Structure 1
Amino acid sequence: MSNPAPTVDTGQNNARPMGEHVRATIVLGVPLVAAQIAQMLITVIDTVMLGWLGVAELAAGTLAGQLFFLFIIFGLGFAAAMIPLVAGALGKGDEREVRRSARMGLWALVALSIAFMVPLWFTRDILLVLGQEVELVDLAERYMRIAQWSLIPAFVLIGLRGFLTALEWAGAVLAITIFATVLNAALNYAFIFGNWGAPRLEMEGAAVATVLANLAAAVLAAIVVAVSKKTRGYSVFTRFWRPDWAALSTISRLGFPISLTILAEAGLFSAASIMIGWLGKEPLAAHGIALQIASLAFMVPLGLSQVASVRVGNAVGRSAWMDVALATRAVIWLAVGFAVISGVVFIAIPEVLSALFLDADDPNAPTVLQLTVPLLYMAAAFQIVDGLQAVGSGALRGLKDTKVPMIMATIAYWPVGLSAAYFFAYPMGYGATGVWAGLVAGLAVASVCMIGRFILRTRYGLTPA
């Protein structure tokens, strides 16, 4: 009698029902999305209040904010690398690996933040080389000379939020972020306009608010991680000074490609700001408004991408291979549903949304408002593809797949997106609207690449099932 052929456990029998995946995604996703929105509101509030000062201040704030965000991207990438490593270790029940990944992730973030303060000191020179107006460059430099000191606490905060996200303690992430948002808004109101007895610092006031809010939020997050019953057992800060070179190498190996992937997209939007800056301060101010509105909507798929990383990483740690695909599918459904809703809102009330960022008494306000409306139409066009590329990237990070997605993103955003943006804006003569058409093209290619690669990995044998 012959022996039966060996079978491979694909996880089909012990896979969780799809309804359970949807519920788990909502439970984890709602507070994470809310935290992302609260985080983005810090920048939105800065933009709104600088817009109350004038169009020049709004345009300068857009330039400085985009440059600053390029460096923040690297912090986001390393935090994104921490999430699947910590989640996978939790899935295996390895507390030591949880501690190693969190601690060395914070090491890498602090080192990067210190290094990045050097180029930010030369903000004026960078913007002049990029052909921006001297008036705007001077205002942007006044902001950045102060705001750059927020980089260290901001990176620490990003790392601690990533750790709490991997533990699926999204409520703590949300509470800390709301605290930072409310504090930043109050400090902006005080220091930009000289309210509540504070000095009127205008551009510098927004920077002071950014530094103080990030510092306070980082301290609060560290206290939560150190003393909370849910986190203190991991002893993240115990013997924090001791290096773990193997764990640091793993974080760096995953973190750099993720950072470069996110940088490829953010760099495309920053390049768009530079190209629109060549058109003048009114188009740049309109771009800044549309970018803030679109970025605020993007916080939903961005939060869902973190959910995908956590749930896929945890499923990989448990060797639950069917759950890998099902968890991702649940996230995609929710991301696409929100993208449709936000796109409809952009098309239905663009003037209402844009007017929130402008002083009605400013003589340039009607021109800026008129230029912003078609940009929001273009933003509506890329809501679905932007959400899909974000969720696809998050799911691939859960599989610890970062290098090939980095290459895909770079090609999609730069040879495709940037070239299309320049072509539509200048040779075709569509100006700022043409630049945004290029953004749509780059994001569409990226979404096809990310979702396509995830399908290949889960359907055709590139995962154990």
Structure 2
Amino acid sequence: MPMQHRLTYRQHARAVLLLGLPLIGSHVAQFAINLSDAVMLGWYSVEALAAEVLGGTLFFVLFIMGSGFAWAVMPMVASAEASGQETQVRRVTRMGLWASLFYGVLALPVMIWSEAVFALLGQDPDVAELAGQYLEIAGWGIVPALLVMVLKSYLAALERTSVVLWVTLAAVVVNVGINYLLIFGNLGFPELGVRGAAIASLLVNTAALLALAVYVAASAPEHAMFQRFWRPDWEALGAVFRLGWPIGLTSLAEVGLFAAASVMMGWLGTLSLAAHGIALQVTSVVFMVHIGLSNVATVRAGQAFGRGDGVALRDGAKVVLGMAGAVAVTTMVMFLVVPDLLIGVFLDPDDPDRAAVMAAGRQLLAAAALFQLVDAAQVSALGLLRGVQDTRVPMVIAALSYWAVGVPVSYGLGFVFGFGGPGIWLGLAAGLALAGVFMLVRFWGWSARGVGVQGV
């Protein structure tokens, strides 16, 4: 094997930023769609916000599980492109779209009849009814949302990220505009509350899919992505499925941990659930930054994997982890120093429940500050492991860390020891810490040694 030219850490950092900043921006913008729903519904009413927290949580749980096939496309395309296998790029992306489409159709009934699910989980009947109304409409958006994720992964792996950012930013603007008209009934439109936010989300997801599909068809004719799209490629579909389902279950384990926390917060009452929803929105914005860096780690590691370049894999990993650590430290300071600034934007200044929700939210952000570093570590390590197509052991690590440790500790601290909301969030920190340690050990102890010969 020929010697690989070794990049300096500065060159790695520059490459990470060039690829990562548009990805981070697109993830933050994508989340801003949900964030704008939460902010605007919070100004509409606390009950509407609580309903969006429940409905949005279920949507996100199902969405993130189905996104495993999209995440699988990213390292497979990056590796195929780096090794000159152009046909494989088209095959795995197209079958990623197939797998995501099938999954989305299967997930639809759960959301259409979600009110019964929330009732079984012991949620407030009024909030459960509102959440069900939200998902009866917004739930249909899971199909275009999943297909958008596949196209984003394909474009990210080819380092064509600018269009993803611009499409997502446009989607935010459109979503806010439709929310303004349909949630509050402005400019003569009907006042629909949570259903207005749901209609906006469905329209925006559909429009984003059409925009990216047109771009892919026009900008990459060599891949002929949508020609004879109906023809199956069982070998490629099997490869995407084998790599994607462990990624989906790994993501489900983590998102399920936060969903379980949302259910437990609902047992504490509507105000506690609203405070949890706000704190979750704030921490999720930062999480989107880490997801963007994790995507960069996947692409860069996938390229190194395709070339068999262990030196680039290891050096690039150090740079990504360092950047993620810097973001985490900055976040910890913000959560501890200016929590009121972060929480207050979600609440009407004249809302009689504002003071109670603010007080609960401060405690939750203080608890969130404790898990910023470990959360950054586990997300980055997961991205690196996906880059070298190691997904099954991380799935086991995630399931055990989040569900054998995180959920029981959350319940114990929250209810058995009586710490309430902060106790539930400290349980989240325990699960994330364990996952972070073992994911890093997995990458440095096994995967990095499995690629290339020099420097590893």
TM-score for both structures, normalised by structure 2: 0.98
SS of alignment partner, residue 187 of structure 2: coil
User: AA paired with 1:123?
Assistant: S
Root-mean-square deviation (CA), in Å? 1.2
User: AA paired with 1:169?
Assistant: R
Distance of 1:174 and 1:299 partners within structure 2: 13
Distance of 2:450 and 2:87 partners within structure 1: 28
Give CA deviations for 1:420-455 in whole Å, capped at 9, x if unaligned: 100110111100100000000000001001111000
Alignment check: 8 A CA contact 1:191 1:201 kept: yes
Query: What is the match of residue 355 of structure 1?
Result: 344
Alignment check: 8 A CA contact 1:10 1:464 kept: no
In the alignment, which of 145, 150, 158 is matched to residue 141 of structure 2?
150
Distance of 1:411 and 1:463 partners within structure 2: 27
Alignment check: 8 A CA contact 1:123 1:144 kept: yes
In the alignment, which of 118, 128, 144 is matched to residue 127 of structure 1?
118
How many Å apart are 1:458 and its aligned residue? 4.5
How many Å apart are 1:176 and its aligned residue? 1.3
Distance of 1:10 and 1:22 partners within structure 2: 24
Query: What is the match of residue 345 of structure 1?
Result: 334
TM-score for both structures, normalised by structure 1: 0.96
Alignment check: 8 A CA contact 1:10 1:321 kept: no
How many percent identity over aligned positions?
Answer: 44
Query: What is the match of residue 90 of structure 2?
Result: 99
Distance of 1:181 and 1:250 partners within structure 2: 34
Distance of 1:10 and 1:419 partners within structure 2: 51
SS of alignment partner, residue 324 of structure 1: helix
Quick check: 113-122 or 203-212, which moved more?
113-122
Q: Does 1:462 align with 2:450?
A: yes
In the alignment, which of 426, 432, 443 is matched to residue 415 of structure 2?
426
Alignment check: 8 A CA contact 2:67 2:100 kept: no
- In the alignment of these two chains, the number of paired residues is 453
Distance of 2:410 and 2:447 partners within structure 1: 34
Unaligned runs of 5+ in 1: 1-8
Q: Does 1:317 align with 2:309?
A: no
Matches within 5 A, 1:242-261: 242-261=231-250
How many Å apart are 1:219 and its aligned residue? 0.4
Query: What is the match of residue 451 of structure 1?
Result: 440
Alignment check: 8 A CA contact 1:456 1:462 kept: no
Matches within 5 A, 1:259-408: 259-408=248-397
In the alignment, which of 28, 49, 52 is matched to residue 40 of structure 2?
49
Alignment check: 8 A CA contact 2:339 2:365 kept: yes
Query: What is the match of residue 107 of structure 2?
Result: 116
In the alignment, which of 183, 186, 189 is matched to residue 195 of structure 1?
186
Give CA deviations for 1:340-399 in whole Å, capped at 9, x if unaligned: 011101111101111100111111111111110010011111111111100000000001
Distance of 1:115 and 1:268 partners within structure 2: 22
Distance of 1:87 and 1:463 partners within structure 2: 15
Distance of 2:420 and 2:363 partners within structure 1: 11
Query: What is the match of residue 150 of structure 2?
Result: 159
How many Å apart are 1:76 and its aligned residue? 2.2
SS of alignment partner, residue 278 of structure 1: helix
In the alignment, which of 200, 206, 213 is matched to residue 209 of structure 1?
200
Query: What is the match of residue 59 of structure 1?
Result: 50
How many Å apart are 1:241 and its aligned residue? 0.8
Distance of 2:341 and 2:75 partners within structure 1: 40
Distance of 2:2 and 2:48 partners within structure 1: 57
Distance of 1:175 and 1:47 partners within structure 2: 22
How many Å apart are 1:73 and its aligned residue? 0.5
User: AA paired with 1:90?
Assistant: E
How many Å apart are 1:74 and its aligned residue? 2.2
Quick check: 135-144 or 74-83, which moved more?
74-83
Distance of 2:368 and 2:52 partners within structure 1: 21
How many Å apart are 1:85 and its aligned residue? 0.2
Distance of 2:12 and 2:402 partners within structure 1: 32
Distance of 2:69 and 2:130 partners within structure 1: 31
Alignment check: 8 A CA contact 2:311 2:452 kept: no
How many Å apart are 1:197 and its aligned residue? 3.1
Query: What is the match of residue 80 of structure 2?
Result: 89
In the alignment, which of 67, 78, 90 is matched to residue 76 of structure 1?
67
Query: What is the match of residue 165 of structure 2?
Result: 174
How many Å apart are 1:17 and its aligned residue? 2.0
SS of alignment partner, residue 426 of structure 1: helix
Q: Does 1:238 align with 2:224?
A: no
Distance of 2:86 and 2:188 partners within structure 1: 49
User: AA paired with 2:26?
Assistant: A
Distance of 2:160 and 2:49 partners within structure 1: 36
In the alignment, which of 129, 152, 165 is matched to residue 138 of structure 1?
129
Query: What is the match of residue 425 of structure 2?
Result: 436
User: AA paired with 2:71?
Assistant: A
How many Å apart are 1:464 and its aligned residue? 4.3
How many Å apart are 1:196 and its aligned residue? 3.0
Distance of 1:352 and 1:316 partners within structure 2: 44
Alignment check: 8 A CA contact 2:390 2:447 kept: no
Distance of 2:12 and 2:370 partners within structure 1: 29
